[in-house]
Structure 1
Amino acid sequence: MNLVDLSFLTGVFVTLFVIIDPPGTVPIFLSLTSTMTAKQRSRAALVAVAVAMLIITVFAVFGRFILDYMHISLPALQFSGGLLLLIVALQLLAGKEGEMAASEGVNVALVPLGTPLLGGPGAIVAVMLFVQQAGGEASRIISLVVAMVALALTMYLAMRFAGVIARVLGDGGVTLVTRISGVLLAAISTQMIFDAIRSFLVSWGVIAG
């Protein structure tokens, strides 16, 4: 028995990567931390990732209880999640991902970096769906944990070395990566919507399962 489901792990990582878009957070992170020292910027990156992962983990663990309590089916969550991710994808394609600014007196590592930039609704919905897909299988649960740890490390490194990444990619390179992420996310969200519609039709007996 394999401890890790490589296909599932890859799917989780790629999906969350294009939703959160670590390279796309680089210019936002630099602008929000422009007055900080290198040490303060590193700490802000660590806090932002910790906050994001805490939020995502809480919903991954307790999300099912919330759905049951509110009588929300998985296909309904999948459909609404697909629409939500499609909106995020359109924002990435339109170049509106940076339309957020820190409020006076608020720690930027918490808001908007930790949430909603990293630990936003798109990532939360996606992780809840992946937990459902895991179905209690040990290999898939381990794969999900490994993928999230790898993603957390990726997010931290992207912000920790934001200055270097920005210089290497340039403004055009960062924009290109963000747009490509938008295209991939649009395709993923559309597939989620189609799968949800199919699940509804199967449950209603319109088509065979």
Structure 2
Amino acid sequence: MLIIFLKAVLLIPVTLLPILNPLGIAPVFANLLGDVPRQIENRVARQVAINCWFLLVGAIFIGSHVLAFFGISLPIVRIGGGILVAVSGWKLLSDGGNDAAIPKQVAKAYDDESNEELKARSFYPISFPLTVGPGTIAASITLGANTPARLVDWVMSIGSAALGSALTVLVIYLCYRSANKIVSLLGRLGTMVVLRLSAFILLCIGIQIFWSGFTGLLVETGMLPP
């Protein structure tokens, strides 16, 4: 039983980390924050990790039920999410002027007594859709699609999902808290190249997610063979 539990725990990071790609998103995270103090970078990275944990656990346990309640299929989630990711990638690729205001807003939020502004900035667009996007949510929903019937298996499922998601967001936190170090190692030119490439890849990922959802929708309607 312990071996089964550990396999279930490891299944989540092994499945989701290639989709999340926190190391590749780290330069984008650093660009959104700008040249901020180390403590702010750590605090935002920690808040992003917390946000991502709730997103992953929520998608695993209640994602399929929410979609069933509203009558939404996974292809529709991929289409809508793909458009959102593609738009985010296009904004990062074509316009850096609006991002310049974000570091000031994050720093101001850190100095304020209230953390609401910081939490809001850390959630959108960093936590969602840049980190946990529609592809990750769809994969998480798939991981939690089959709910065990027995109580013991259900408790093990909850524990493994919570722990597996925690390991996943720990990797996100470690990558994001070192984002400016990664950028400094790359240098100004290297950072600009990686940032633009990451934005372009993000745009392509959004289009790919949209296309996967569109073809899945055609399969559901019978216009394409499964």
Provide TM-score, normalisation by structure 2: 0.67
Among all aligned residue pairs of Structure 1 and Structure 2, give the percentage whose two residues are the same amino acid. 19
Match of 1:85 in 2: 85
Match of 1:173 in 2: 190
Match of 1:76 in 2: 76
TM-aligned CA distance change 1:57 to 1:174, over 3 Å: farther
Q: How does 1:1-209 map to 2 (within 5 A)?
A: 3=7, 12-17=16-21, 21-31=25-35, 33-34=36-37, 38=38, 41-96=41-96, 98=99, 101=102, 102=105, 105=112, 106-107=114-115, 109-113=118-122, 115-121=123-129, 123-134=132-143, 135-136=145-146, 146=164, 148-149=165-166, 151-209=168-226
Aligned residues: 201
d(CA) in 2 for partners of 1:41 and 1:188?
26
TM-aligned CA distance change 1:7 to 1:64, over 3 Å: closer
TM-aligned CA distance change 1:161 to 1:120, over 3 Å: same
Instruction: Measure how far apart 1:129 and its partner are.
Output: 0.6
d(CA) in 2 for partners of 1:23 and 1:133?
29
Query: Per-residue CA shift, 1:152-208, capped at 9, x if unaligned?
Result: 234322343344323211232222222222232333322222222222222222222
- Quick check: 1:49–1:155 contact (8 Å CA) kept in 2? yes
1:91 counterpart SS class? helix
TM-aligned CA distance change 1:171 to 1:10, over 3 Å: farther
Give structure 1 stretches of 5+ with no counterpart: none
Query: Per-residue CA shift, 1:45-104, capped at 9, x if unaligned?
Result: 323422332244334432222222221122111111111111122123225483553265
Matched AA of 1:187: C
d(CA) in 2 for partners of 1:29 and 1:117?
12
CA-based RMSD of the aligned residues comes to: 3.8
- Quick check: 1:85–1:186 contact (8 Å CA) kept in 2? yes
Bigger shift: residues 126-135 or 168-177: 126-135
Instruction: Measure how far apart 1:8 and its partner are.
Output: 8.8
d(CA) in 1 for partners of 2:88 and 2:45?
22
Instruction: Measure how far apart 1:130 and its partner are.
Output: 0.5
- Quick check: 1:15–1:185 contact (8 Å CA) kept in 2? no
d(CA) in 2 for partners of 1:196 and 1:181?
22
Higher helix share: 2
Matched AA of 2:220: S
1:57 counterpart SS class? helix
2:99 counterpart SS class? coil
- Quick check: 2:78–2:213 contact (8 Å CA) kept in 1? yes
Bigger shift: residues 73-82 or 103-112: 103-112
